Structure 1
């Protein structure tokens, strides 16, 4: 009887574990804010780890490749992090700075992120600011360290330092900014590729897309950015709100994107820089942005034409061209000025994105290793068709793993129960004999 009891306990434990997995897999997503409520906050990566930037490089905490982190940065703050680098992969560290919604900002407010070696030499940096659209919204920028045998600086393996520095003008909101930090790496090429870019390239705007826009609401952060393919996409955007989208671009493909604000029946006052449309690359390096004024009539802005995605684009000194340096998810973000609420009310304004992706995908440039996020996979294309965000894709993968665990637990439990029943029957027969 003790054997039977033990078997029953083990089976019960397995069944309870399987049931617990099923409960986790079926947990509902958080509810979204209803119309008229406060704007949804920025959606941070749920897997992000907390890190504290140091005031000195000597105290810098490490950032691991492939990991996302969260921190805060005060007014005119300057903080350091540490990365251990080799000579086998390029390195990109991005920062998404999230100011307090509704806070006052100046055109010169912004931040810079750089990577420095142990002698203070800057390997690569980027600075972004609010510019003419002087209202709080998330800003993204990246620093890079590229392995280049022809370069004399930043080529030794060892410790490097990521420096994030905020600029705050007098009169701007001094509140801390939230930071979302990502450390990504890119394999080198098996053999050297082209070192220059063509002087001429197809920059003509393609024929406009026509038809009925499909509904696809943008996300509230990079992590839950709504996936888009070629087509017209309709969202609703409220004053002060930023919506995030992502588009898969493979090697050789070229992106054209426009944003249209729908007309209003409640006024005709002019609001300058009413809409900002920004483009960031797969490493969250800033590529381009454009602004649009609004006076109640439908109005459209277009991002400047970008070169087709190519590895050699990184050789350009032009920031937008250099940013189109790898395949993967490119991020679009649209922000509506809070000033719209004063003239047209706090209700949503119709927003239509028109996304055009030209050219067939080319082969990858010959990476010596797994490109990781710097590629477009069949699953990425499926996600774009369905509109699945990165967060939803991760959740679906976790549900799949959980269901496989449930199935394995079910098979294991059934086998154990059958063996236990068999042993119990055999013992009973022997006792009867």
Structure 2
């Protein structure tokens, strides 16, 4: 889980190239990809906790904390929060079914926040949907102090309830879950509690989608979890995806800006459009906000021919969106990194083969960035609800993606976050030839050996 040595990184680079040298195009990239299509990168340093069966034994969660636990079949777990009277608290739970799990379209996860009298502050549930393919899904709940109601406004103890939604015939295996707790400070001055007008009114936000981006796509391997989501900005991005796999990307969206996204699945050449062969909801693209709150999703039917799915037009990011109705409006309530999560259903293997399939993302962020609301303090973690220069540079591909900040390194690996792993992903994606990489690796190894000999 720690850093790899330089020598270890070089050895890994050489082995990746040697192992993949005879496997065809893209072998170098595949060599560093996770072999398990169901792998999920849990955040480095996530604390393992045991959810309680009763509020009396609930473990306390800290602002900015990331936790890992397990959710049994038909399970209901309790966690504890200690909240002040001004901050907004957001807790998200990502459910990760294990390999081989059987799920129904109505299966999923539900999260709620309750006070000490069992009154609900908010709740949300997310389900696997018609693809019936096991993949990470996240739901969130909150305690907010800037609403019009008087419930859940006081300081004190609150409880997070994480529930598993199961159907008869679903797998009885435990699900892994990743919990995050983000704190948003209150405002200096109370803001208006009116949501933006809906499209079609005189004062509505622009709901027209821009013309889709064209041009050559840039290869950008997706991450395998929220914590290792690959940063992308405006552009056309390319990756390969196999059935059962889920790829994570994060897009910085500032106050006042619009986000548009289109996912395109390439043609397979297998029974294209013929014989009635198809997979409904073959690919699902979901959007989550910076607190990992569900915003929207779109799916596509696949019959072997290229096809695409686009998110419906979303409102510009605004603080007042939280007072709107529906996830598509209320979810766009703060600036920060929005997550595009793309899953390819495992049924694709039976109908069209194991792949990989070409995935193209066309991402646009439009509009001028506006000033942030006047917060009383900083969010926890810091800058969760902001777009920094580093975020913009990483999304454009300028920043060093081997940095140690959580979520900066992008890749398919098992969540170690090591600098050597991230560097090799960049090398693999850049298309450097096998011979060049071998020479580079051996040269670095030689330099290290000579320096050590000199010191000796």
Q: Is the 8 A contact 2:146 2:186 kept in 1?
A: no
State the alpha-carbon separation in 2 of the partners of residues 64 and 390 from structure 1. 28
Q: Is the 8 A contact 2:73 2:174 kept in 1?
A: yes
Give 1:369's aligned residue: 377
Q: Is the 8 A contact 1:226 1:387 kept in 2?
A: no
State the alpha-carbon separation in 1 of the partners of residues 222 and 3 from structure 2. 30
State the alpha-carbon separation in 2 of the partners of residues 50 and 39 from structure 1. 23
How much does 1:167 deviate?
A: 1.2
**Higher mean Cα deviation, 321-330 or 334-343?**
334-343
Q: Which has the larger radius of gyration?
A: 1
Q: Is the 8 A contact 1:224 1:389 kept in 2?
A: no
How much does 1:141 deviate?
A: 1.1
Give 2:127's aligned residue: 129
Q: Is the 8 A contact 2:140 2:292 kept in 1?
A: yes
Gaps of 5+ in 2: 17-28, 198-203, 410-416, 420-456
SS at match of 2:193: coil
How much does 1:391 deviate?
A: 7.8
State the alpha-carbon separation in 1 of the partners of residues 400 and 112 from structure 2. 29
SS at match of 2:297: strand
Give 1:165's aligned residue: 163
Following superposition of structure 1 onto structure 2, how do residues 187-206 of structure 1 map, counting pairs within 5 Å?
187-199=185-197, 200-206=204-210
* Distance change (3 Å), C-alpha of 1:353 and 1:191: same
**Higher mean Cα deviation, 91-100 or 186-195?**
186-195
Give 2:351's aligned residue: 343
1:380 matched to 2:391: yes
SS at match of 1:224: coil
2:270 to 263, 266, 270: 266
Q: Is the 8 A contact 2:195 2:322 kept in 1?
A: no
1:153 to 151, 154, 158: 151
* Distance change (3 Å), C-alpha of 1:296 and 1:150: closer
Give a deviation string over 1:289-322, Cα, whole Å, max 9, x none. 1110001111010111110000000001212200
1:138 to 136, 139, 157: 136
* Distance change (3 Å), C-alpha of 1:378 and 1:36: closer
1:291 matched to 2:302: no
State the alpha-carbon separation in 1 of the partners of residues 286 and 131 from structure 2. 12
Gaps of 5+ in 1: 1-20, 401-433
Give a deviation string over 1:386-422, Cα, whole Å, max 9, x none. 277988451789999xxxxxxxxxxxxxxxxxxxxxx
1:184 to 182, 185, 195: 182
Give 1:13's aligned residue: none
Give 1:98's aligned residue: 96
Give 1:214's aligned residue: 218
State the alpha-carbon separation in 2 of the partners of residues 155 and 24 from structure 1. 50
Give 2:444's aligned residue: none
1:257 matched to 2:261: yes
Give 1:228's aligned residue: 232
SS at match of 2:126: strand
| Greater helix share, structure number | 1
State the alpha-carbon separation in 1 of the partners of residues 7 and 145 from structure 2. 45
**Higher mean Cα deviation, 25-34 or 54-63?**
25-34
How much does 1:201 deviate?
A: 1.3
Give 2:452's aligned residue: none
Taking structure 1 as the reference length, the TM-score comes to 0.83
Number of residue pairs the alignment of both structures matches: 380
Give 1:305's aligned residue: 313
* Distance change (3 Å), C-alpha of 1:186 and 1:389: farther
State the alpha-carbon separation in 2 of the partners of residues 355 and 27 from structure 1. 36
Q: Is the 8 A contact 1:272 1:294 kept in 2?
A: yes
How much does 1:38 deviate?
A: 3.5
Give a deviation string over 1:69-118, Cα, whole Å, max 9, x none. 00000111001000100012110011111011342111111111011000
How much does 1:58 deviate?
A: 0.5
